[in-house]
Amino acid sequence: MKKSSKFKVPSSELGARRAFGSKPVARATTRSALNAQRSTLNYFLGLDLGGTSIKAVAVTAAGEKLRQRSVPFVDRDMEWAGKIRTLVSAWRRELGEPAGIGLSAPGLAAKDARSIAVMPGRLLGLERLDWTDYLASPRPVPILNDAHAALLGEVWRGAARGLRDVMLFTLGTGVGGAAMVDGHLLRGAIGRAGHLGHITVDWNGPRDDFNTAGSLEHFMGNKFIRERSKGRFASTHELVAAAVKGDTAAKEIWDRSVRALGCSIGSLINVLDSDAVIIGGGIARAGEALFEPLERYVRHYEWQAGGHQAKILRAELGDYAGAYGSAANALGFNPAGG
């Protein structure tokens, strides 16, 4: 029978044993210290599910950014869900278990805030998906509508810090929105509150996807630009560029769009008594070509009681506003106080 060979100690370890008179512990100690640090790191994970990508941030309770990532996906076979779980798992390994996870997505959030209750037409599988169970979270994962989350993010760490009465308009493919009154996000009976793009500007206008006649979205959303320009422009960016260069027809189309937005904002200020209105989204990158005439039209329609004017602010958090808002929701940020 063969004798078993003795375990050969690597020379590096022998040197360490001679130097310190004991077994080497530096590597194990380092691992233990890292694991201890990860397990005690108090961070919150905010996730925002969009139409083509997932935005994620890991932040401290004070809003200090630890990680930020954008993950693209194709909307088929719930690819987005698998990518979210993979991302969460990776950050758990790197940072430890988060103190809280929040998620936002298009659609109407369920009353129990554990899922999206209504999201027809895309992101199949999202409706009623319980994210607390799906992500195996030891704590509930609160769910918000994406626009609601974006507004909460801007109030927490963006353009509206310290404000309690504020609206958000996101100008892009469509027109999204959210509203906060006395520090409370308006959600409504079934979660429809804040869909500011679906107010009627022209009751004789065509119906939009939400059955709204002549909606603000129809006047400003990029998805309707070909219809508004009678096929001349393929994007709002092209329209604005032509208007800035002095194209008469383009100037008229753009002015009509901005006036519709200004009229809507002014009217809603009168209803909600907002102290500020945040403008974000891709169309907001038009800069002064948007904000200069918008300011003028808002003042034309706003009730300026006692000379008070609501502030028109540019969004600061960009594509990550929803992720920051989801993190704020997870940590229990409450602008209303109490």
Whether 162-315 and 40-148 are alike in CATH topology: the answer is yes
pLDDT value at position 338?
64
Cα 144 to Cα 80, 167, 260, distances in angstroms: 17, 16, 28
Residue pointed to by tokens 């200069």 = 292
Report the b/e string of 97-107 with b at 16+ CB within 10 A.
Answer: bbebbbbbbbb
What residues form DSSP beta bridges with 70? Answer: 55
Average pLDDT of the chain? Answer: 90
Q: Which fold has domain 162-315?
A: Nucleotidyltransferase; domain 5 (3.30.420)
End-to-end CA distance of the chain: 78
Cα 240 to Cα 135, 237, 247, 327, distances in angstroms: 43, 5, 10, 35
Alpha-carbon span 248 to 314, nearest angstrom: 27
pLDDT value at position 173?
92
Q: Domain map of the chain by residue range?
A: 40-148, 162-315
| Residue ranges, the chain, pLDDT below 70 | 1-41, 338
What residues form DSSP beta bridges with 207? Answer: 213
Q: Which two tokens stand for residue 50?
A: 């969009």
| CATH 3.30.420.40 corresponds to the domain 40-148 | yes
Cα-to-chain-centroid distance, residue 271: 25
- Tell me the per-residue pLDDT of 214-251, one tens digit each, with 9 for 90 and over: 999 999 999 999 999 999 999 999 999 999 999 999 99
- Name the strands in the sheet holding 43-49, side by side, starting at the edge strand that comes first in the sequence: 65-72, 53-60, 43-49, 100-105, 143-145
Q: Is 149 in contact with 322 (CB distance < 8 Å)?
A: yes
pLDDT value at position 209?
84
Its pTM stands at 0.86
Percent above pLDDT 90 for the chain: 85
Q: Which residue type, as a one-letter code, is found at position 18?
A: R
